[in-house]
């Protein structure tokens, strides 16, 4: 008979290669753990409290109190793709027993494995089907609960039915197009738009919709917006890829995007309010926040998606200012690197 032992605390699954950013966030944003000097990662590395342990990219923190989230509006760490919110240990004798025990709790379970891959895939095969393949954009993000498990040894797993993402292991992975988009940044806007729709119920940009994109060169985001049929005012100091420069639905302007007034942009796009305001500009987060507030005060944009690029260590109090914007969500995308993304639904 499989046996379940409930555990205290939370387990955080770091995005790939983001372990140090996750631990820095736990320390800087949640005041959990402590930062010590180290020569290895940006001059900082993390020493978790004595009882925390890494299982691959999964950090189990038995002493992490759920109440800690209340201070930050219940938002779980951005650099974790998903979290085991009610972790437990499952002890079992066979693959069938493990799968039955999970199935009894809920339908959907995804693996996170850092070892014992073969055994985990045999367990997964006995569970109800979920799509673990790369996905072709556009995708629908489901809203059904998705559990997470990881094998600690061949008869023990760490698992949680309750997680904070409906995606398997909290990540969307798109089929990549290596030929058409002018830059790999197209994946970020595809992921942002998918999340935007899941969070706010707003459909993708479409024909007739007006987008203003700051820092658009070479054009990965513009390419996605055009694939979806929207009109784009693309502003950058450098031109976009030739195919986009020739597109009559792309109006390119060589300009500092931050000095264009919302009214000017709306008049260029012949509308009262633009449908999508987008920025992937590399700038200080404080500058970006000021610009977003300018647009919100002017009430000239319905939906906003901006990359918050970090310069060195993350200024968590400043990120908290972004998080205070009404109807906003801050995320770390699967396709973000040392940056976050803010999504704002301003209708």
Ligand X SMILES: C[S@@+](CC[C@H](N)C(=O)[O-])C[C@H]1O[C@@H](n2cnc3c(N)ncnc32)[C@H](O)[C@@H]1O
Residues near ligand X (CB under 6 A): 182-183, 185, 214-221, 235-238, 256-258, 280-283
Structure tokens at 11: 């387990």
**Separation CA 346–CA 328 (nearest Å):** 8
Of 61 and 224, which CB lies nearer to ligand X in the complex structure?
224
Of 46 and 276, which CB lies nearer to ligand X in the complex structure?
276
Spatial strand order in the sheet of 10-14? 53-55, 58-61, 10-14, 80-84
Nearest to 232 by CA among 201, 207, 196: 207
Beta-strand runs (E) in 38-155: 44-47, 53-55, 58-61, 80-84, 88-91, 109-111, 147-153
Of 82 and 190, which CB lies nearer to ligand X in the complex structure?
190
Distance of closest approach, residue 214 Cβ to ligand X, in angstroms: 5
Distance of closest approach, residue 66 Cβ to ligand X, in angstroms: 37
**Backbone φ, ψ for residue 39 (5° rounding):** -85, -5
Contact (Cβ atoms closer than 8 angstroms) between residue 23 and residue 337: no
Of 24 and 235, which CB lies nearer to ligand X in the complex structure?
235
**Separation CA 167–CA 130 (nearest Å):** 10
Distance of closest approach, residue 308 Cβ to ligand X, in angstroms: 12
Of 209 and 280, which CB lies nearer to ligand X in the complex structure?
280
Of 173 and 183, which CB lies nearer to ligand X in the complex structure?
183
Distance of closest approach, residue 12 Cβ to ligand X, in angstroms: 28
Distance of closest approach, residue 173 Cβ to ligand X, in angstroms: 19
Beta strands at 10-14 and 80-84: parallel, antiparallel or unpaired: antiparallel
Distance of closest approach, residue 258 Cβ to ligand X, in angstroms: 5
């Amino acid at each position: 008979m499989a046996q379940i032992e409930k555990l205290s605390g939370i387990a955080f699954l770091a995005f790939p290669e983001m372990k140090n950013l996750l631990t820095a966030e736990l320390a800087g944003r949640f005041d959990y753990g402590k930062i010590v000097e180290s020569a290895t990662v940006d001059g900082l590395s993390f020493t978790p409290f004595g009882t925390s342990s890494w299982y691959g990219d999964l950090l189990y923190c038995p002493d992490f109190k759920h109440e800690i989230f209340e201070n930050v509006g219940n938002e779980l760490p951005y650099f974790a793709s998903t979290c085991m919110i009610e972790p437990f240990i499952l002890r079992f004798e066979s693959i069938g027993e493990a799968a039955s025990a999970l199935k009894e709790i809920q339908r959907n379970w995804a693996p996170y494995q850092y070892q014992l891959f073969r055994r985990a895939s045999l367990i997964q095969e006995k569970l109800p089907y979920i799509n673990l393949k790369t996905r072709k954009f556009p995708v629908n993000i489901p809203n059904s609960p998705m559990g997470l498990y990881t094998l600690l040894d061949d008869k023990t797993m760490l698992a949680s039915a309750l997680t904070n993402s409906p995606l398997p292991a909290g990540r969307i992975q798109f089929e990549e197009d290596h030929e058409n988009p002018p830059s790999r940044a197209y994946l970020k806007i595809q992921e942002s738009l998918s999340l935007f729709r899941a969070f706010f119920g707003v459909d993708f940009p479409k024909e007739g919709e007006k987008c203003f994109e700051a820092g658009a060169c070479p054009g990965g985001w513009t390419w996605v917006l055009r694939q979806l049929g929207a009109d784009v005012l693309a502003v950058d100091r450098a031109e976009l890829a030739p195919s986009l420069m020739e597109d009559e639905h792309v109006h390119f302007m060589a300009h500092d995007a931050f000095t264009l007034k919302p009214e000017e942009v709306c008049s260029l796009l012949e509308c009262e309010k633009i449908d999508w305001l987008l920025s992937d500009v590399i700038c200080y987060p404080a500058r970006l926040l000021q610009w977003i507030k300018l647009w919100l005060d002017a009430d000239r944009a319905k939906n906003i998606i901006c990359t918050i690029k970090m310069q060195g260590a993350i200024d968590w109090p400043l990120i908290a200012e972004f998080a205070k914007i009404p109807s906003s969500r801050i995320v770390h995308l699967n396709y973000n690197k040392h940056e976050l993304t803010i999504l704002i639904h301003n209708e």
